Amino acid sequence: MPVFTRRAVERVIRYAMRRAEERRGRLISVTKSNASRFAYVLWDEVTQELAEREFPALRVERVHVDAMAARMVLNPGSIDVVVGSNLFNDILTDLGAAIQGGMGIAASANLDPSRTHPSMFEPVHGSAPDIAGKGRANPIGAILTGALMLDHLGLGPAAARVRQAVAEVTAGGTVLTGDLGGTASTEEVADAVVGALG
């Protein structure tokens, strides 16, 4: 059973609501309050209170985690900003990575919204120790994670250039690692992205 505090839940949900406000004005709060009647009931209450008090124009949906997994597979275009507990979102980010092509291309960031402490940036797959040093790892997740860090540092145009370079390389379809159906090495893919950056 997870233990949530009102302060911590409010902090993460407020951050997500701000991001949703900057994007399409839609937020999905992932919960399981029908089965976990303490922690996730609190989660739902805080979400509703914040939406009503501070973000009345935001469209907020409450979706149970199992239904969210199905929705990600069946209707991913209906999803924009998602907020949930560490447990739920750890599972959902791996599912999201699989939907977009595999663990090797998924970026992630663990942000301190207050910016008083450092944030951490790493690909969803972590260090992939089982294939480290073999030239088989897909570097795209790490490269896109760098783009997230550039965004966080206020360098949006540079982040956009990195994403565009990755898009060009992957759309070309000729320089891809094995997880994406290609034969290129880690270094070859990284060099191709650097080349696309110009």
- pLDDT at 129 (0 to 100): 85
- pLDDT at 36 (0 to 100): 83
Residue 104 CA from chain centroid, whole number: 13
Cα angle 184, 190, 191 (rounded to 5 degrees) comes to 90
Global pTM value:
0.85
- pLDDT at 124 (0 to 100): 87
Q: What are the per-10-residue average pLDDT scores of the chain (198 residues)?
A: 88 96 97 88 96 97 97 96 94 92 91 90 85 91 97 97 98 95 97 96
- pLDDT at 1 (0 to 100): 67
Q: Count the neighbouring beta carbons within 10 Å of the beta carbon of residue 151.
A: 16
- pLDDT at 131 (0 to 100): 87
Going by DSSP bridges, is the β-strand pair 59-64/81-83 parallel, antiparallel, or unpaired?
unpaired
Provide the β-strand partners of residue 61.
Answer: 28
Radius of gyration of the chain (CA): 18
| CA–CA gap between residue 132 and residue 126 (Å, rounded) | 11
